[in-house]
């Protein structure tokens, strides 16, 4: 009985605190995205001419995002029946947007007018959790800033 109560408390705490922190993070991301709209992100093909630049530098944005207990349990239940694991989709969305913002903010600080050829990389760095779900994921964004 104590184990069931402990489980329910952990799921409840994970759900409520995790959702609140996720909402706060999304609010912060939206605010920072508005501040960085003036820096365009562009990708160029191999045979296209690049814009002229006085200087160029590589910029990297990286973030590690971990699951909360509720997301891990929810994903484990979804694995039983199949389908989209939306709790992980929001985790990856926040991670991508945060990594992109970190890269853009570094480029703005340097004085970049735009960032070219942006690429994303992801890695499962925390291994597998006890329930078989992903413990944490690193998302890295990199691109060339020019001025």
Give CA–CA dist 14/63, Å, rounded.
Answer: 21
Give CA–CA dist 119/138, Å, rounded.
Answer: 14
Question: For position 34, what pLDDT does the model report?
Answer: 96
Percentages helix, strand, coil for the chain (3-state, rounded to 5) are: 50, 25, 25
**pLDDT band (50, 70, 90) for residue 1:** confident
At 128, give phi and psi (nearest 5°): -95, 140
pTM of the prediction?
A: 0.81
> Contact at 8 Å (CB) between 144 and 58?
yes
| Residue 89, both tokens | 């989709």
The CATH number given to whatever domain includes residue 141 is 3.30.110.70
Give me the residue label for tokens 């991670």: 95
How many domains are contained in the chain? 1
Q: Between β-strands 41-42 and 136-146, what pairing exists: parallel, antiparallel or unpaired?
A: unpaired
What is the four-CA torsion angle of 129, 132, 134, 135, rounded to 10 degrees? -10
More confident residue, 17 or 31: 31
pLDDT tens track for 32-79: 999 999 999 988 777 777 778 889 999 999 999 877 666 777 777 777
| Longest CA span, the chain | 69
Spatial strand order of the sheet with 56-66 comes to 41-42, 114-124, 136-146, 56-66
68: DSSP letter: -
pLDDT tens track for 83-126: 777 778 888 899 999 999 999 999 999 999 999 999 999 988 76
The parent domain of residue 82 ranges over: 2-146
128: DSSP letter: B
């Amino acid at each position: 009985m104590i184990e069931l109560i402990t489980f329910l408390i952990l799921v409840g705490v994970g759900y409520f605190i995790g959702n609140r922190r996720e909402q706060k993070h999304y609010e912060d991301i939206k605010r920072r995205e508005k501040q960085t709209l003036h820096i365009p992100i562009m990708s160029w093909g191999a045979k296209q001419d690049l814009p002229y630049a006085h200087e160029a530098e590589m910029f990297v944005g990286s973030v590690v995002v971990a699951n909360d207990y509720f997301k891990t349990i929810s994903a484990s239940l979804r694995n039983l029946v199949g389908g989209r694991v939306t709790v992980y989709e929001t985790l990856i969305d926040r991670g991508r947007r945060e990594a992109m913002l970190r890269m853009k903010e570094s480029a703005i600080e340097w004085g970049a007018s735009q960032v070219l050829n942006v690429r994303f990389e992801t890695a499962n760095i925390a291994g597998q959790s006890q329930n078989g779900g992903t413990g944490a994921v690193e998302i890295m964004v990199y691109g060339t800033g020019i001025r």
